[in-house]
Amino acid sequence: MKKKFLFILVVCILSFPSLVFSAQESVAGTFGIVSSPLANVRQEPAPKSSIQTQVLLGDEVRILGKENNRYRISIPSQEQREGWVQQEAVIIPKDKGKNYLNPKRQWVIITKPRSEALILDKTGDHKVSLYAGTRLPVVQKNPGAYTVQFPDRSLAILDAADTMPVKTGDPILNETKPEDLAKTAKQFINVRYFEGGLTAQGMDMQGLLYITCRIHGITGIGDLASGKAGEARVSKKDLQPGDILAFYGEGRGMYIGNGQFLQTAKKRSLRIAGIYDRPFSKAFQYGIRLINAGPDEKKKPADMTADEIYLAQMRAGSLPLGKRIAYWAKRFIGTPYDTDPVGLYVRTNRIVADEKADCMYHTFRAVELALTRTPREAVERALTLRFITNGILVDGRVVNYDERFQYGEDMVMSKKWGANITADLGPTVSIAGSRNIADATILPKESLAKRELQQNLQDGDIIFWVKDPKKRIVEEIVGHISIIRIKSDKPYLIHASGSKGSGSRRGKGMVKELSLSDYLKQTKFIGAFVTRFKQ
C-alpha cells in the first residue's frame, strides 16, 4: 500500500509540478497595496532578520515572490527597494489597484507624526494610529475633517488639521520652500532611533529625510541624498534651512538654521546638533539643496521670453487644469494694474500686453496660457475665448476688438468660460438683469461666506462679482473678476485690482492675492457667478 501511495505521489509531482510551487509562483509579478498602518520590510524572510525599511498604509508594492507567509516585494516609492514583508500586511486587488489608486481622486497626506483615524465599519467605530506620509483617497470632505478610504474599502474619518492635499512631484509648482522641509522635520525631534524606521515609533536619518520629502511631494530622495541626482551642492556658509548635510562616513543631517541641524545616532533619539561642534565641524562635506527654484519662476510674464513661457507651460502641463489656471494667475502677481478705461491690450490692438493687466485681461491670459502648450497656441486660443465671434489678426494686430467680450456676464452666459456652477455651490438668489438679460441667478455674499461652500471651491474657479442693481452705471451686471487659488485648504482670490478713469481718479493697483473671507468683509458687490473649466 505504501509503495502504491509513493508511486501516485511521484506521478502527480512529475505531471503537475506547478502544484508544488504554485504558492510561490502565483503571486510573482502581481501588484499589491499595503493594508496595515505600518509594516516592517526585512532583509530575509525570517522573523529576526534585519529591518531594511518600512511601508505605510496605502503604499504600492510589486510582489516578486512568496515564501511561507511572507512576500518578497519591491517598493516603487522607495526607488524599488526590495525586502520581505508579512503576507497579512498586503492585499492584492483584482483590478491591480486601478480603482483605488485612480489619479482623478482627491488625495490627502498625513503631515503630523501620528494621527488618530476613526474607523467606520460593521464591528463598531474604533480608532487606529496612522503615521506621517500616509496617503489616502478622499471620499467626502467634511467641516474640519475628511472621510477617507482604506485599501480594504473600509472608511475612516481624519482630522483635516493633521493632513494636507497631496502635492505634485514638482517642488516649484507645489510651492514648497526649503524652510518648509525644516519645519516638517522638526516635528520629529525626540523620536527614538530605529534603524530602517520612518515613523514616530522610531526612525533613522534616511527615514526622516524620506518622510519629510514625501510630505512635500519630493521623490527620489535616495538619489538626492546620495548626491547622484545633479542637485545643487552648497558650502557651509551658504546653507539654508531644509538643506541636507553630507558628512564623511556617509552621515546625513538636515539643516534647520542658525548653525543647527537634525541628527540621529544609535541608541539616541533624533536631536539638534551644532554644525560647528565637534565632531561635526571637521566631518562636514557639503550641503545638498533639494529645492532650487530657477530665476524664471520669479519672473512675471511681462519679463519672460517666449521660450521661458513655453518652458513654464511645459512644466505646468503636468498639473490638473484648474491648478494650471491658478498657477498662471499667480505668476501675474505684482503686475501693475491697467488703468486705461478701454484696456491697454484693446487700445494697442494686441493679444499679448502683459506689462499691465486689468481683471478681465488677467483672466484672459491666465486661462489661455493654462489651456495651451505653447505661446503661439495661447494666441490662437485667445482669438476664440476673448470674442463673441472670433478674433481676426492682421499683421499681428487684432482688427475686430469691438466684437470682444466687454461684459463679464456675457462670458458666463457664453459657456466659453467654463461651466456655470453657481447653482451647484450653495443657496442662490435671483436679481434683476440688464442688457436683454431678464434676471440673473447669483450666489449672495451670505452663501459665499459659508464654510461649506468655500470648501467646494477649487483651484482655477472663476468668480464674476455682481453689482447691486441700484448702483449700476453702464447697465453691466458683473463689475469685477477673480480667480480662485486654494492654499492651506482655504480659498484665496487672485485678481488685478485698481481704479479705471483719468487723472486723479486713476488708481495704482496691481495683481494681488487675498483670502476670499477677507474680500467678502470689505467688498461692495452683492454676490457672484462662478464658472469652472473641466479637465
Structural domains for the chain: 20-91 (2.30.30.40), 107-165 (2.30.30.40), 178-289 (3.90.1720.10), 298-532 (2.30.260.10)
Pairing state between β 107-110 and 145-149: unpaired
Sign, CA torsion 337/340/343/346: negative
5: Cβ contacts below 8 Å, ≥ 6 apart: none
Residue in 535, 408, 520, 376 with CA at minimum distance from that of residue 474: 408
Concatenating the DSSP letter of every residue in 136-198 gives: EEEEEEETTEEEEE-TTS-EEEEEGGGEEEPPPS-TTTTT--HHHHHHHHGGGTTPBB-TT-E
Per-residue pLDDT of the chain (535 residues; tens, 9 = 90+): 444 434 433 334 333 333 333 334 467 778 999 999 999 999 999 988 999 999 999 999 999 999 989 999 999 999 889 999 999 999 999 888 888 988 889 999 999 999 999 988 766 678 999 999 999 999 998 888 999 999 999 999 999 999 999 987 776 677 788 889 999 999 999 999 999 999 999 999 999 999 999 999 887 766 554 444 445 788 999 999 999 999 987 688 999 999 999 998 887 899 999 999 988 888 999 998 887 655 567 789 999 999 899 989 988 888 889 999 999 999 999 999 999 999 999 999 999 999 999 999 999 999 999 999 999 999 999 999 999 999 999 999 999 999 999 999 999 999 999 999 999 999 999 988 888 888 899 999 999 999 999 999 999 999 999 999 888 777 889 999 999 999 888 999 999 999 886 555 556 799 999 999 999 999 999 999 999 999 7
